[in-house]
Amino acid sequence: MDLRKLGLGAAALAAGLAALPALAQNEQFIPLLSYRTGAYAPNGIPYANGVADYYNMINERDGGINGVRIVFEECEFGYATDRGVECYDRLKGKGPTGAAFVNPLSTGVTFALTDKAPVDKIPIITMGYGRSESADGSVFPWNFPLLGTYWSAADMAVQHVASKSGGRAGLKGKKIFLVYHDSPYGKEPIALLENYAKLDGFQFTALPVAHPGTEQKSTWLQIRQQRPDWVLLWGWGIMNSTSIKEAAAVNYPRDKMIGVWWSGAEPDVVPAEAGAKGYNSLTLQHGAGTYPVHGDIVKHVYDKGKGAGKKEDIGQVLYNRGVMNAMLGVEAIRKAQSRYGNKSLTGEQVRWGLENLSIDNTRIAAMGMDGFMQPLRISCADHEGVRRARVHQWNGKAWEFVSSWYEADMSRIGPMYKEAATKYAAEKRIAARDCSKES
Contact footprint for another protein (CB under 8 A): 5, 8-9, 12-13, 15-16, 34, 36-37, 74-76, 78, 81-82, 85-86, 89-90, 92-93, 107-108, 111-112, 114-116, 119, 131-132, 182-185, 187-188, 190-191, 208, 211, 420, 424, 427-429
Nearer to another protein, 187 or 412 (CB): 187
Nearer to another protein, 89 or 360 (CB): 89
d(C-alpha 289, C-alpha 259), whole Å: 19
In whole angstroms, how close is the CB of 308 to another protein at the nearest point? Answer: 9
In whole angstroms, how close is the CB of 405 to another protein at the nearest point? Answer: 27
In whole angstroms, how close is the CB of 313 to another protein at the nearest point? Answer: 15
CA dihedral for 59, 289, 408, 253, sign (positive or negative): negative
Nearer to another protein, 208 or 278 (CB): 208
d(C-alpha 203, C-alpha 228), whole Å: 9
Q: Would you report the helix, strand and coil content of the chain in percent, each value rounded to 5?
A: 50, 15, 35
Contact 272, 248 (CB under 8 A): yes
Q: Where are the alpha helices (DSSP H) in 72-106?
A: 81-91
In whole angstroms, how close is the CB of 195 to another protein at the nearest point? Answer: 10
Contact 435, 355 (CB under 8 A): no
Question: Largest alpha-carbon pair distance within the chain?
Answer: 77
In whole angstroms, how close is the CB of 129 to another protein at the nearest point? Answer: 11
In whole angstroms, how close is the CB of 429 to another protein at the nearest point? Answer: 6
Nearer to another protein, 377 or 428 (CB): 428
In whole angstroms, how close is the CB of 413 to another protein at the nearest point? Answer: 13
Alpha-carbon dihedral 353, 153, 48, 37, rounded to 10 degrees: 140
Contact 167, 409 (CB under 8 A): no
Neighbours of 205 (CB within 10 A): 16
Strand partners, 420: none
Rg of the chain over all Cα atoms, to the nearest angstrom: 22
Contact 141, 378 (CB under 8 A): no
Nearer to another protein, 112 or 249 (CB): 112
Structure letter (DSSP) for residue 215: -
Nearer to another protein, 309 or 353 (CB): 309
CA terminus-to-terminus distance, the chain = 57
Nearer to another protein, 209 or 272 (CB): 209
Nearer to another protein, 99 or 376 (CB): 99
Neighbours of 220 (CB within 10 A): 22
In whole angstroms, how close is the CB of 2 to another protein at the nearest point? Answer: 13
